[in-house]
Chains A and B, each alone.
Chain A
């Protein structure tokens, strides 16, 4: 079992819709969770971090964390073509290192 698993893509949504990206992790002691966006040919860019159970909102992005279910998600409201990218989930495990999922590729169609 992978330490961090993301729903397999690609994910395609129409412009203006809500995109939902999901991530599960295996280390129950994990404390810190991150979402990165990576455009093709570019480096990952941090867009959200979340440390406590519940929702955290930043503009059109909402991160949701449920430690009991070992689940973290990213919602993108009013999706735009510029949101088309690969989204990487990262979890800081008890060992002190960040483990990344394989990523979910999102395409927003005009």
Chain B
């Protein structure tokens, strides 16, 4: 357990509504990531952060925005949810240190359904 929580754990929302998912970590990790996982697919990177207010896009960033105003919180926002954004969303942190560089540890996930 890397001290990562995600909220909400489950959400059903309607097309066109805004949605914000929260990732919270307690161990002061610098790097945080948002992934989505769809049936039959691996994890695809949406956005990541390398520090407070420092974020960058991943491979599937269209329709998503992120914010990181505090080290411990990384927010993912769907400005106007679409059915194609129905997925399971995982937050991850990257361990730091010589021997564990780039190892990632994941939160419990948020299952989002857009109807």
Contact = CB atoms under 8 A, between A and B. Distances in A.
Q: Do A and B make up one complex?
A: yes
Interface of A: 4, 32, 34, 42-46, 49, 88, 90, 92, 97-103
Which residue, of B44, B101, B104, B109, has the highest number of chain A Cβ atoms within 10 A? B104
A38 B44 CA distance: 15
Contact of A49 (B44, B48, B100, B108): B100
Contacts of A88: 42-43
A44 B45 CA distance: 14
A34 B103 contact: yes
Nearest to B44: A100
Interface residues of B, number: 20
B66 to A, nearest CB: 15
B64 interface: no
A56 to B, nearest CB: 12
A108 B40 CA distance: 20
A34 B101 CA distance: 11
11 contacts: A4-B42, A34-B104, A45-B106, A46-B103, A46-B104, A49-B100, A88-B43, A90-B104, A92-B102, A99-B45, A103-B42
